[in-house]
């Protein structure tokens, strides 16, 4: 969970826009767009004030861990 906290601090105004959800039994998949403004504290993100946008998805269920991956 440390990486989630790091990205939360790095993009304080982050927005997630859900594009699609799919449920199959106990599993759920969500496709979304991630957007916000860089705080400039992570070297792999744009400099402070730079925009960040990325498509992403998450799949979760009772037998899996949540996974957040670029689409």
Q: What does the pLDDT read at residue 63? A: 65
| Confidence category of residue 70, pLDDT binned at 50, 70, 90 | very low
End-to-end alpha carbon distance in the chain = 20
**Cα 65 to the center of its chain, rounded Å:** 15
Please state whether the predicted TM-score (pTM) of the whole model is above 0.85. no
Which tens digits make up the pLDDT trace of 12-55?
999 999 999 999 888 888 999 999 999 999 888 889 999 999 89
Euclidean distance between CA atoms 17 and 52, whole angstroms: 13
> E-assigned strands of 1-71?
15-24, 27-37, 51-61, 64-70
């Amino acid at each position: 969970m440390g990486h989630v906290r790091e990205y939360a601090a790095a993009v304080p105004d982050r927005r997630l826009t859900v594009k699609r959800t799919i449920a199959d039994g106990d599993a759920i998949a969500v496709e979304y767009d991630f957007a916000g403004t860089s705080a400039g504290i992570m070297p792999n993100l744009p400099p402070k004030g730079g925009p960040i946008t990325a498509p992403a998805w998450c799949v979760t269920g009772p037998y899996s861990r949540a996974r957040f991956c670029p689409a």
